[in-house]
Structure 1
């Protein structure tokens, strides 16, 4: 059913019983959910209990008038559109109703088909306003996603699962270590789904204090807690019709787990501080780096909720298990116009990347900032990547050539001066520990700095490198200014 033909949730407030009952019966037969109120007091009670798309309210009623109901609705932050009915139409009444926030005005008598048409227009206006508000929220939260990259067999399996599972409307639990690209996979599932053109909303349970998670997910009403100066739409409502990606769902506070379970069961939720029931249609994608079966056994996560979010399970491999994808990932992250030195690529491929793709992205973005040209070199990489790689090579080669108490058999990179600055070469030799690359670099740079009395600009010119690169070398080699 299209949005224009979707059933509406209506409240009909009218003190004339015969007309109210006739209108409610006719609208119900048209497929709409209709609640009746005989006066303003009943109307306000209904508005406290439920959320309505449109309220049709008679202006002149004993006790609380229709205009007073309208005024109280708007002051409480109600999002329902209001159509005022009256048998005594005047320009003054119409102007007063519109000033108080009514959308439309109908004079009795009128055909019931016309009432439905006016309600439909009011509902469409309300939907457009919600979509615009939700779009602004999404724009504020949205970040440019990277593309999922990989040619390894394990990633090809992941791609096939994304294509197949994406077409379903069921919940998916994405598991894997931190930094393996779980959100990218969630976006891939969204893109492969019938909801591809609908909102994709994300929340990270581990990034928010426990007290804020409920407000973010379900929203709150004005005055619900200290600092709630206005009503706020929750992310479930923002994602209505689309997908909500809950990252680190294992961190979801136990008190909120029953509330999430209820939304998954029937789409019902209540804002914090509200008694109104709201309905949403949202697909849940969840992610975790925890072993959720162990979390369930330990009593930290509800078993019934676990089965609800784990209709399908998709496990992402760590980067160390898909080393063949690293060159492709590097090219994708660096982007057009950038290249990487073969020695730097070798260092990147040799490193274990405990932080997975996220760590690789951060390392290469940092390298691009530090690089003197559009080519990433070894010196541009973080120290742990270079030193860990050198240590791995030394350990591997020592196993082949043996080692004595004073050194190891390695292909040791050495420093030389060729008039253009520092050049790296290699010699196969059994070298003492103090003659390794870092020791030679350190000794040579200190010698230049001492000779130039600590003048880094002159030292950089003599070394044939940019001053920024000299600062990076000082940092990596842990050379303190007190040494020169």
Structure 2
């Protein structure tokens, strides 16, 4: 509720004004001297002042009110002040209005006119206050960004700006951060920004792509292994957690971590303790964990494929990254960065870039730009140089292969290669690819844009198996 201060040496006028204000829903205060008024404004949150111009009996010069007005303006330049007097002096009124007085009224006043003036002034005051707050926040944000290390990040959209703002805000804490978003959207770059602006920026920063590690070596990679712990382990090796001790560990594709690894990871996050593979010696580390995923972990939790307690340990702060086709203002700045200063885009090429679906996000955009630069005949790139219509056709063909069909999927010995390798295949798509390629793992993995190890992990996650004859066929083809 807005507080309005009435300053008048006439007690009856103070009472009349405060009663009117209270009836119309305002909180009112009153005092009879300039000294009291200045003290109240200094100590309380006052939204508007109605002040008299004379405070000494038989005085009509208005000088006391004039001094009070200028002192209030000096203390709070944006505070609306309505001047009120029975001795209207045109020159003084003009001077003070020019100096910032919100209104100048004579006594007796018109209630309706005064209330209308108060309503309008308070609306303007609050709007100005909000604008000042936004300007201050924006100034502070710009100052923070100016001093921050953005690791070469190129962007122009508000969505990415908000993500970076939040990344910089949480960077200096030691909480776990989870970066979510589709493949190729820039999750690793956001992780770099968090690390580069943290208190651990000079400490080890170890990156691990969970999806690229062989399943049977995953725990050894993360937690280390003693000599003889498994076949080929000729000497002891430290894991990524030990390598990151005192610093930061970035776990990409965290959704692909098997349940056994999730249990150990949860323990490390809770206690900092773990054992190397093949060892009973407990080791202790102090590591900040940043994780990233393109998976729907809430669905994985519901399906029993990801531990809920681990999710909440990792996801203290979430940094979501929108797909590139939802960050239109990022496309042209990124494209210009990828082609370099030597090349530019004509208007048709720019429009083609903006209209493309970018299912592969920033990674796809970068590849398109590199291809265009290599094949271009001039420094000004055209839409033909980009080849986006061809890519769109291939992507649609790939999508049609993955879509359910009433007809049986083809079983001929033919490899279907998907150009859209950045889309995470679901259980149904993997099942269909296994049928289409007779269970030949190398061909299935290639059609889905995955490594064989990554395909095996997803098959294990979805509890999918391959017929023995298919395995024998693959072995015989080598």
- TM normalised by structure 2 equals 0.49
Structure with greater strand percent:
1
Which structure is larger by alpha-carbon Rg, 1 or 2? 2
- TM normalised by structure 1 equals 0.48
